Amino acid sequence: MELNTIERDDIGAAAEDLVVPPAATRKVFVKTYGCQMNVYDSQRMTDALATDGYAATDAIGEADLVLLNTCHIREKAAEKVYSELGRIRELKAERAKAGREMLVGVAGCVAQAEGAEIIRRSPAVDLVIGPQTYHRLPAVLAKARSGEKIVETDYAVEDKFEHLPQPKRAELIRRAVTAFLTVQEGCDKFCTFCVVPYTRGSEVSRPVAQIVAEAERLADAGVREVTLLGQNVNAWHGRGEDSEEWGLGRLLFRLAEIPGLARLRYTTSHPRDMDDELIAAHRDLPALMPYLHLPVQSGSDRILKAMNRRHMAKDYLTLIDRIRAARNDIALSGDFIVGFPGETEADFEATMQLVEDVNYASAFSFKYSPRPGTPGAEMNDQVPEAVKDERLQRLQALLLKQQQHFGASLVGKTIDTLIEKPGRQAGQKVGRSPWLQPVIVDEKAGEIGDIIRVRITKTGYNSLFAELA
Ligand code: 5AD
Ligand code: SF4
């Protein structure tokens, strides 16, 4: 497929005058916005760039390539990118004065949604690359280095994941004992508030063999916990090793067989795709952590309909009952939007009631943000900002109370903790509870990668303190 090009503008000196460092000494600075899938994608891009001679750096000032992996989900997220590009423009000009080139790339969902508009608004940008074409990054960069401006937002016909290089084993070992693994990408649900179907495209599931191979590589390098990612992860399906059609439940059982992988998680799910086999996996699979992020967005049937969520509040509550019957210690998490067009006080009260009924262990809540190109943005009855603010405050106060209550309920209990990294304070290490809370322990409690039994002694704001049981 062709690369779209735009004429290069003159930031600082012309490209030919700048010192282009040879491969292997080039440095890339990657900044990630948004969701976990972007974190995963940034890692894969960094891996692809390593084979192209770029070493990762944390110091933006010394970067030959700055890559912003962006998020388009809410207006604020997208605006952050443009203000960052303003700062980068100055850095780039300073570097040019010193005779060094700094290429600037925008990847991710803003890249996909806005394409060439980004270069028009921020002329310091040299390349724009959408999420479906990351495997073409080295080719795109070669062109950009020769002075072309590139916009690469086509949906690739070839399988991106087949073409993205895997990191070396030694590199994987150096990384964390937890890892993300994208199994599904895109979304066909078209909730009326959401840009994802437009930025990430339609639903694609990665094949079983690819997923198993990647999970095995991770486990072989010492990874103990894998979180399967997808915008609609529980819609994942594929032909299994037995030639049967597998769903996510079956895939989880298969991954649990991999030696060394002690913990599995998945995110984010849609209530409509929680099938019996997946619920059974929560009952029968000890490796599947008792934590489920299951966004409902609203507790009002009228608003759920307007959002095109395709279920009612009571369907969600019934589903939660079935999941809790399968695994009674499961912690539930959700996403909420307040101030969707037409939301009345009564609709909002229905959301508060649903939150009371479910009792969440954690949750994320947002003010509705109209996104260009989505049906919600065109709807009448947009809710005033002040009303959104007030509702968000009330909802967040309730969710925070529930979260703290959940933490407090664990004090005195003995639980498993995966030790993940050194603590911020000397003498401490930080682990992770089955319910995703950070657990602070004495550094001598175990080594990174160990799963230890600890007794919870007290709670912090968002964390737990524990001692060896
Ligand atoms: N406005 C506010 N929140 C949104 N989300 C998605 N789109 C919007 C929007 N336009 C929230 C939803 C989703 C989470 C990832 O972000 O709650 O589950
Ligand atoms: Fe942001 Fe959604 Fe894209 Fe993730 S999928 S990067 S949250 S817009």
Instruction: Compute CA distances 2 → 139, 168, 294, whole Å.
Output: 11, 31, 39
Q: Which of 39, 71, 132 to probe ligand 2 with, by most ligand atoms within 8 A of CB?
A: 71
Phi, psi of 407 (to 5 degrees): -60, -50
Smallest-distance ligand from the CA of 231: 2
The ligand 2 atom nearest the CA atom of 33: 6
9-38 mean pLDDT: 71
Q: Is the CB of 337 under 6 A from ligand 1?
A: yes
Q: CA 103 to CA 54: how far, in whole Å?
A: 12
Write the CB contacts of 203 (distance below 8 Å, at least 6 apart in sequence). Answer: 184, 185, 186, 187, 188, 232, 235
Whether the pLDDT of residue 16 is over 60: the answer is no
> Average pLDDT over the chain, rounded to whole?
93
Residue 18: pLDDT band by 50, 70, 90 thresholds?
A: low
Residues present in the chain in total:
469
The ligand 2 atom nearest the CA atom of 199: 3
Smallest-distance ligand from the CA of 109: 2
List residues bridging with 80 in a β-sheet: none
pLDDT tens by residue, 136-164: 999 999 999 999 999 999 887 778 898 89
Residue 462: pLDDT band by 50, 70, 90 thresholds?
A: confident
Instruction: Give the 3-state secondary structure of residue 185.
Output: strand
Q: CA 400 to CA 278: how far, in whole Å?
A: 28
Residue 17: pLDDT band by 50, 70, 90 thresholds?
A: low
What is the pLDDT, as a whole number, of residue 133?
Answer: 93
Q: Is the CB of 437 under 6 A from ligand 1?
A: no
Q: CA 383 to CA 381: how far, in whole Å?
A: 6
Residue nearest to atom 18 of ligand 1 (CA): 335
Query: What is the 260 CA–ligand 1 centroid distance (Å)?
Result: 35
What is the pLDDT, as a whole number, of residue 77?
Answer: 87
292-304 mean pLDDT: 98
Q: CA 319 to CA 210: how far, in whole Å?
A: 31
Give the whole-number percent of the chain exceeding pLDDT 70: 95
Whether the pLDDT of residue 11 is over 90: the answer is no
110-115 mean pLDDT: 96
pLDDT tens by residue, 331-347: 999 999 999 999 999 99
232-258 mean pLDDT: 97
433-438 mean pLDDT: 97
Residue whose tokens read 């080594």: 447
Dihedral angle sign, alpha carbons of residues 48, 51, 53, 56: positive
Q: CB of 262 within 8 A of CB of 224? A: yes
For the chain, first and last CA: distance in Å?
59
Phi, psi of 11 (to 5 degrees): -95, 120
The single-letter code of the amino acid at 135 is: H
**In the chain, what's the furthest Cα-to-Cα distance?**
68
Whether the pLDDT of residue 5 is over 90: the answer is no
Residue whose tokens read 């995966």: 418
Query: What is the 290 CA–ligand 1 centroid distance (Å)?
Result: 24
Instruction: Compute CA distances 149 → 10, 15, 323, whole Å.
Output: 11, 12, 51
Instruction: Compute CA distances 176 → 7, 218, 340, 418, 452, whole Å.
Output: 41, 10, 39, 12, 17
What is the pLDDT, as a whole number, of residue 308?
Answer: 98
Write the CB contacts of 345 (distance below 8 Å, at least 6 apart in sequence). Answer: none
The ligand 2 atom nearest the CA atom of 108: 6
The ligand 1 atom nearest the CA atom of 336: 17
Q: CA 420 to CA 439: how far, in whole Å?
A: 10
372-399 mean pLDDT: 97
Query: What is the 436 CA–ligand 1 centroid distance (Å)?
Result: 21
What is the pLDDT, as a whole number, of residue 12?
Answer: 35
What is the pLDDT, as a whole number, of residue 23?
Answer: 66
Query: What is the 334 CA–ligand 1 centroid distance (Å)?
Result: 11
Concatenated DSSP letters for 97-150? HTTB--EEEEEHHHHHHHTTHHHHH-TT--EEE-GGGGGGHHHHHHHHHTT-EE
Query: What is the 337 CA–ligand 1 centroid distance (Å)?
Result: 6
Q: Which of 31, 38, 337 to probe ligand 2 with, by most ligand atoms within 8 A of CB?
A: 38
What is the pLDDT, as a whole number, of residue 22?
Answer: 66
Residue nearest to atom 6 of ligand 2 (CA): 71
Residue nearest to atom 1 of ligand 2 (CA): 71
Ligand 2, CB within 6 Å, residue ranges: 34-35, 37-38, 71-73, 108-109, 195-196, 199-200, 231
Query: What is the 81 CA–ligand 2 centroid distance (Å)?
Result: 13
Q: CA 459 to CA 469: how far, in whole Å?
A: 17
What is the pLDDT, as a whole number, of residue 162?
Answer: 87
Q: Is the CB of 297 under 6 A from ligand 1?
A: yes
- Which of these, 131, 225, 218, 206, lies nearest to 162 by C-alpha position? 206
Q: CA 120 to CA 22: how far, in whole Å?
A: 30
Smallest-distance ligand from the CA of 364: 1
80-89 mean pLDDT: 95
Query: What is the 122 CA–ligand 1 centroid distance (Å)?
Result: 26
Q: Token digits for 383?
A: 């809710």
Query: What is the 89 CA–ligand 2 centroid distance (Å)?
Result: 25
Query: What is the 364 CA–ligand 1 centroid distance (Å)?
Result: 9
Alpha helices in 307-374 (DSSP H): 313-326, 345-358
Whether the pLDDT of residue 276 is over 80: the answer is yes
Least confident range from 19-33, 70-84, 399-413, 429-443: namely 19-33
Query: What is the 308 CA–ligand 1 centroid distance (Å)?
Result: 13
pTM of the model: 0.92
What is the pLDDT, as a whole number, of residue 325?
Answer: 98
